[in-house]
Amino acid sequence: MRNPLIWLLYFLLFSPLSLLVRLFHDPLRRGWDPSAAHYWHHLRPSEGER
């Protein structure tokens, strides 16, 4: 262990915070929608790609 402060910060702050985010919010919008024809998201090209 090189720096115990970094370990403490990770395990006491970032780990519980990430668990809370995953419990109450789905950042990847994973979910089953039986009425959906597909799950493809159409994106508009940016100005530089035209």
Residue 50 has what pLDDT? 56
For residue range 1-50, what is the model confidence (pLDDT) as tens digits? Answer: 578 888 888 889 888 998 998 888 887 878 888 898 888 878 888 777 65
What pLDDT shows up at residue 1?
Answer: 58
Greatest extent of the chain over all pairs of C-alpha atoms, in Å: 52
For residue 34, give the 3-state DSSP assignment: coil
Q: Sign of torsion, CA 15 18 22 24?
A: positive
Q: pLDDT value at position 49?
A: 65
pLDDT of residue 9: 84
Task: Give the per-residue pLDDT at 28.
Answer: 80
Q: What does the angle CA 30 – CA 47 – CA 36 come to, to the nearest 5 degrees?
A: 25
